[in-house]
């Protein structure tokens, strides 16, 4: 009986250790298979990194690992190419016989009290295993300075992991606002922690041309600069022609080579985007002969010139490349000759989105071209343009990729589609046997509101964290051979600093990383929330900004026949209490707790709410005007009758 009791105590002890380990381990994106073991690895005073392969790529991973550990721990490291096992070492091993399950990017990570071993078929797998290992260390591993008072230990575990999709992208808009070479590197450093491997750089738009084209110097001499404005995007004053154009910047080709090399060392491919025929005002300002509409043009500074109404849009000026101008095609032959020579990635993105064609309809040259080519409408005219661009790009040995509007009027042969207006464009392209990257604005546009607009920086639509987590790049019934993967997009019209960019990215980019890396069966919302809350501590250690909007309530309003409103409050994270007030004071946990839909007291002007967890505030204090809630309920504002 005593022996059985001791055995039971031992089992319970192991289970307790495993449960503690499970609480300590917070990996994003979720690995395919994790087993928690007894014990822990303690980092030695001098770190030995052993490799069994002398290739430059393996040594590069080993050195990056060593430098990361050195920066945060203050300890020195040495890389040794030897098979003789050294206790306490971190081993990076390329499999002699490749394992089919791991593919080119998978890895197996084993942590015991005697050491750490990462095995993979290729060096990319070692790199991703290294990223996971960092998430097992204490949060201070993300510090940019050495922390001497930390016990550098890792819980024992066995992890086998591999990606679901080969395209795991993040788009960074450096055209609307210019971000420096160092800031782009910082962006890369943050994305690879969560196993993203494609950086889509949106390099040209109405507000700036950011890449040096040596044969066309005005593209950056003129197109990279605009008048400086601060305030609310779309409401800026129009610059005068003689106003100084000092805000902006561009990447020289040497700059871009440096960025490409930096990315490649971290297993990131860079997809360049030259957005045409719309979104081309910076190019038109540089070379006005590119447009169908003669005039004087300047780079847009954020003033409104495209009007969006009722699901459609029109332009107040012509920001398009003229498809009927034969000189346009040798011009872009020069552009894509230099772009293709600069970027090793096999794809070049040519845009094709949101092209207002009203000025084409007024152009005699376009009318003649349409008649000559038997084009039925301006959608087919854009398709004509994209198909000619596709021939230029393919002649450089590259594949064309475009936004899903390139489906309209006929898809160019061999073109890949990036589906942003929901998933349907990608589904259609895949059924035509074209490659697809899914990046729907309904799930993956990270420049949109992530909480109630009353408490967030201004933008135009919403993707909350839970919605982002629902993203699945592979729709039912679609052949997976044609779905390359998915990505999230960070447009920068309304953000001009890295701090704001970080706030919009995290934690929603965690959700997208899990959608493109992890197996669907590994996704679980409540578990995800627990894990990203631990990631917040790592972001704090790295001094990276992030949003806590997932703790803020959603407001749902309804009205009765008398135009009285009822207000329902809910949270996407469970276990929160919502406290509220109508009396203009700021509520805390001693105020009324929300339980049932609220009715508004007769003379109340504002509803103030805040969320708590375990008696501590966790969300923002939100001041919601009753007038705003009535507006959302579709109740027209009643203006008081003026008194005499």
**Active site positions, annotated:** 205, 279, 354
Q: Which residues contact 571 (CB under 8 A, 6 or more apart)?
A: 551, 552, 553, 554, 578, 611, 619
Direct distance between the N- and C-terminal alpha carbons of the chain, in angstroms, rounded to an integer: 97
User: For residue 620, what is the DSSP state?
Assistant: -
Query: Token pair of 173, please?
Result: 């808009």
> Hey, is 522 helix, strand or coil?
helix
525: left (phi over 0), alpha (psi -120 to 50) or beta: alpha
Question: In the Cβ-directed half-sphere of 58, how many Cα atoms lie within 13 Å?
Answer: 20
Q: Are 90 and 50 in contact (CB under 8 A)?
A: yes
Q: How many helices (H) and strands (E) does the chain have?
A: 18, 28
What value does the CA radius of gyration of the chain take, rounded to a whole number of Å? 28
Q: What is the distance between the alpha carbons of residues 178 and 640, in angstroms, rounded to a whole number?
A: 47
DSSP letters, 106-121, are: -EEEEEETTEEEEEES
H or E segment at 92? strand 90-94
Cα dihedral 550, 29, 463, 307 sign: positive
**Token code pair at residue 481:** 């051979």
Distance of CA 268 to the CA centre of its chain: 14
- Summarize the chain as % helix, strand, coil (round to 5): 35, 25, 45
Residue 307 pairs in a beta bridge with 314
CA-closest candidate to residue 220, choices 301, 278, 277, 287: 287
- CA within 13 Å, CB half, 196: 27
Could you identify the residue written with the tokens 């420096």?
Answer: 180
Q: Name the residue among 81, 92, 159, 89 with its Cα closest to residue 124.
A: 92
Reported residue count of the chain is 644
- Which residues are 312's β-sheet partners? 309
- Closest CA relative to residue 224, chosen from 295, 302, 298, 289: 298
Q: Where are the alpha helices (DSSP H) in 193-298?
A: 218-221, 253-264, 281-286
Q: Are 34 and 150 in contact (CB under 8 A)?
A: no
Q: Which two tokens stand for residue 408?
A: 């309209």
CB 414 within 8 A of CB 390: yes
Cβ contacts of residue 134 below 8 Å, gap of 6+? 68, 141, 142, 193
Q: Is the dihedral of CA 231, 499, 174, 278 positive or negative?
A: negative
Asked if 401 and 418 touch (Cβ cutoff 8 Å), the reply is yes
| Pairing status of strand 204-205 against strand 167-173 | unpaired
Distance CA 408, CA 426 (A): 13
The SS3 assignment for 487 reads strand
Instruction: List the beta bridge partners of residue 158.
Output: 35, 110
The neighbouring-strand residues paired with 107 are 161
């Amino acid at each position: 009986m005593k022996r059985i009791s001791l055995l039971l105590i031992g089992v319970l002890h192991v289970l307790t250790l495993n449960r503690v380990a499970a609480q300590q381990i917070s990996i994003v994106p979720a690995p395919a298979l994790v087993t928690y073991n007894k014990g822990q690895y303690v980092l030695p005073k001098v770190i030995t990194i052993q490799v069994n392969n002398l290739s430059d790529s393996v040594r590069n991973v080993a050195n990056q690992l060593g430098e990361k550990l050195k920066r945060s721990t203050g300890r020195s490291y040495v890389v040794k190419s030897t098979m003789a096992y050294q206790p306490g070492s971190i081993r990076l091993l390329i499999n002699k016989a490749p394992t089919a399950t791991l593919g080119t990017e998978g890895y197996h990570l084993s942590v015991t009290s005697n050491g750490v071993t990462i095995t993979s078929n290729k060096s990319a797998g070692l790199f991703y295993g290294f990223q996971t290992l960092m998430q097992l260390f204490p949060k201070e591993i993300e510090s940019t300075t050495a922390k001497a008072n930390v016990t550098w230990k890792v819980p024992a575990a066995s992890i086998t992991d591999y990606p679901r999709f080969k395209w795991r992208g993040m788009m960074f808009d450096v055209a609307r606002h210019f971000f420096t070479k160092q800031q782009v590197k910082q962006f890369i450093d943050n994305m690879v922690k969560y196993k993203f491997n494609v950086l889509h750089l949106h390099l040209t738009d109405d507000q700036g041309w950011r890449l040096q084209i040596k044969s066309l110097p005005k593209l950056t001499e003129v197109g990279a600069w605009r008048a400086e404005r601060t305030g609310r995007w779309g409401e800026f004053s129009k610059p005068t022609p003689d106003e100084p154009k000092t805000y902006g910047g561009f990447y020289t080709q040497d700059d871009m080579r440096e960025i490409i090399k930096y990315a490649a060392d971290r297993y990131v491919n860079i997809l360049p985007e030259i957005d045409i025929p719309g979104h081309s005002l910076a190019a038109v300002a540089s070379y006005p002969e590119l447009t169908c509409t003669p005039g004087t043009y300047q780079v847009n500074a954020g003033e409104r010139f495209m009007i969006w109404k009722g699901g459609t849009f029109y332009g107040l000026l012509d920001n398009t490349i003229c498809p009927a101008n034969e000189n346009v095609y040798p011009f872009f032959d020069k552009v894509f000759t230099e772009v293709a020579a600069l970027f090793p990635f096999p794809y070049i993105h040519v845009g094709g989105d949101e092209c207002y064609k009203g000025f084409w309809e007024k152009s005699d040259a376009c009318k003649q071209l349409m008649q000559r080519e038997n084009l039925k409408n301006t959608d087919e005219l854009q398709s004509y343009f994209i198909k000619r661009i596709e021939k230029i790009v393919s002649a450089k040995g590259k594949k064309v990729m475009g936004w899903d509007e390139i489906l309209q009027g006929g898809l160019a042969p061999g073109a890949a589609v990036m589906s942003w207006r929901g998933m349907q464009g990608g589904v259609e392209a895949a059924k035509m046997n074209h490659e697809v990257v899914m990046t729907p604005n309904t799930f993956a546009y990270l420049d949109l509101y992530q909480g109630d607009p009353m408490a967030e920086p201004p933008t135009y639509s919403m993707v909350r964290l839970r919605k982002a987590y629902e993203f699945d790049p592979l729709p039912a019934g679609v052949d997976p051979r044609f779905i390359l993967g998915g990505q999230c997009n960070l447009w920068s019209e309304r953000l001009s600093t890295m701090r704001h960019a970080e706030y919009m990215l995290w934690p929603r980019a965690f959700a997208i990383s899990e959608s493109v890396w992890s197996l669907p069966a590994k996704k679980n919302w409540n578990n995800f929330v627990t894990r990203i809350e631990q990631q917040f501590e790592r972001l704090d250690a790295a001094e990276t900004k992030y949003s806590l909007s997932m703790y803020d309530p959603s407001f749902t309003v309804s009205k009765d026949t008398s135009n009285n409103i009822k207000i329902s409050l809910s949270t996407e994270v469970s276990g929160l209490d919502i406290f509220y007030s109508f009396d203009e004071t700021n509520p805390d946990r001693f105020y009324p707790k929300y339980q049932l839909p609220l009715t508004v007291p007769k003379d109340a002007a504002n509803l103030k709410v805040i969320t708590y967890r375990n008696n501590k505030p966790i969300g923002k204090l939100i001041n919601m005007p009753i007038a705003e809630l009535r507006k959302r309920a579709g109740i027209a504002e009643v203006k008081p009758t003026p008194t005499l």
